Amino acid sequence: MSLFRASAGFRGVKRLGGIAGVLIKHGLGHVLERLAGRKKGDAKPTKHKVVSLKPGALSPRRIRLVLEELGPSFVKLGQLMSTRADIFPPEYVEELRKLQDRVPPIPFAEIEAVIEKELRRPLTELFAECDQESFAAASVAQVHNATLPGGKEVVVKVIRPGIEKKIREDIRLMYYLAEKIEHNFEMGRILAPTNVVREFERTVFRELDMLIEAGSIEKFAFNFRETDELYIPTVYWEYTTKSVLVMERIDGIKVDQVEEMKAHGIDPKEIALIGLRCFSRQLMEFGFFHADPHPGNVLVMFDGRVSLVDFGITGYLDEEMMRQIANIFLGYAEHDYDLVMEAFLDAGLLDEETMDLDSFRLDLKDASEAFYGRSLQSISVKDVYDQIIHLALKYHIQLPRNLLLLLKTFIQTEALGKIQGSDANILEFTKPYAKKLLQRGYEAKKLFRNLGKDTRLVGKYARVMPKFVHDILRQVAKGKQRIEVWHDGFQQLDMKLEKGLNRLTVGLVISASIVAAALVLNSAQKVLVLSLKFLGLETVSLTALLGVLGYIIATILGVWLIISIYRSGKL
């Protein structure tokens, strides 16, 4: 089969055979034939087309089952696909959300070997106690409770041995299969699975580095250092490496266990407000947010504080994106759709040349007005999300990954507030934070900092521009490049320039005539004096006649020039 022959260079040929077996097992043998090139689609690529799979095509449930059986790497790929509702059809997104990143734990002996190798000390020296039974096991890592020699209770998160090598091999196969899908399926050409695999490759290896997660915890702790209502666990850096993370263990109640909170005298509505305040600050103050606030990652401590305990997925927003999001929130809160549209345009989400912006604005307003003034209890989170994704699909808007992460976080935060019975209006709640962010952008210190940054940028361009110009001219001189200059609309400019120059010339002639006539008339020398009795004059010289004639010509030209300028409307 050509599918296997083409991949003979991979060490994962056996793995590819296993993938083929899984596809056949789940009744997708016809997909395997298409991937092998036996039945090539003859449909031409279709640009900007919303995919709606017909009955009898690839079943969403079958796709989910295949991904689950193919193992951790493909499960994580499916989870990423479930967040890209701007690309994949709704029925597939809904099914892929069911993918659970839970796998049986590996034997503790393997975990112990990783810990001792990374920390270079026996486990008995590192911890007073370490539970051999893990309380959480996922495809990338598993977590154990432990106690430090000083008695401090901690959790130990350990990367599964060999997982990085396995993921790298699977990613190579993913790229190969994605290219085959794009080549043999019209749906593949539209959905561009290669880009999805590329995004997966860019993100998955961050989860394999515990130093990155530890750094995220420290950054959160610094950002909320003056906040009493949010508690961030301590990282024990002397026990933390690339494959091992040791952090403070937090005892508390899962944030969705409302009745247990009430039993401990904790008001769930206040917990919801803490969540909204912390989310608003992450979004509009720090530009760094926890992107997976599901109930398992958010605990309510017994003293009423909220704690985040897993920082494997985080998102970043630059200052410009923060301001655009603030404008979106503020525009929604004040029913100012012009402000919302301007923020969308500044963020590069809308294309003025290819999109019907008036229609988009109307659709946006129709989709949004139904949610105004309503509390979290009266809003269906799924309805909000579906409306946004519907607009993205209809107008072919590709949403950046961090914006999708933010949208997912927003929905999860809102859902938790709904579970806790909050009656807050999220737009009104975030409005002060948005205003504060926008006002901060106009502070003098900020303006001077931005000015300095722009000045450095201009200086950088000034340094490299001569080299760029030299390289271009050298290529042109060698005949490797060709410079073509197109101009249009210069004819009218030539006419305007010519008319202006003519008027300037006439003005100069008038000035010269007046000056010359004045000099001649005031001259004491007379040339060719004629005897002439006219209007009381007995003699008239030629110089006097020339001076008067100069005045007459200057007057006529001056009057003509004024009339022509007046008619042109430029007076």
- For residue 437, count other CB atoms closer than 10 A to its CB: 22
Classify 153 as helix, strand or coil: strand
Between helices 381-394 and 357-369, what is the axis angle to 10°?
A: 170
Q: Angle at Cα 139 formed by Cα 133 and Cα 140, nearest 5°?
A: 90
Compute the distance between CA of residue 507 and CA of residue 484 in angstroms, rounded to an integer: 40
As a whole number of angstroms, the distance between CA 48 and CA 54 comes to 18
440 burial class (0-12, 13-18, 19+ CB within 10 angstroms)? Answer: middle
Give the DSSP H or E segment for 233: none
Q: Give me the helix-helix angle, 401-419 and 268-281, nearest 10°.
A: 160
Which pair of structure tokens corresponds to residue 300? 């309510």
Q: Which helix (H) or strand (E) holds 484?
A: none
Q: Of all helices (H) and strands (E), which one includes residue 137? A: strand 136-137
335: alpha, beta or left, given left = phi > 0 and alpha = psi -120 to 50? left
d(CA 436, CA 367): 27
**Which positions are annotated as active-site residues?**
292
CA atoms within 13 A of residue 321's CA, in its CB half-sphere? 16
Three-state secondary-structure class, residue 393: helix
Q: Given the structure tokens 């946004």, which residue do they identify?
A: 388
Residue 400 gets which letter from DSSP?
Answer: P
Residue that the structure tokens 């050509």 belong to = 2
To 5 degrees, how large is the angle CA 238–CA 243–CA 245? 45
Distance separating alpha carbons of residues 339 and 342, to the nearest angstrom: 5
Angle, CA of 407, 415 and 230, to the nearest 5°: 85
List the alpha helices (DSSP H) in 26-162. 29-35, 60-70, 72-82, 90-96, 108-119, 123-126
> Rounded distance, CA 213 to CA 488, Å?
56
Dist CA 144 CA 153 (whole Å): 11
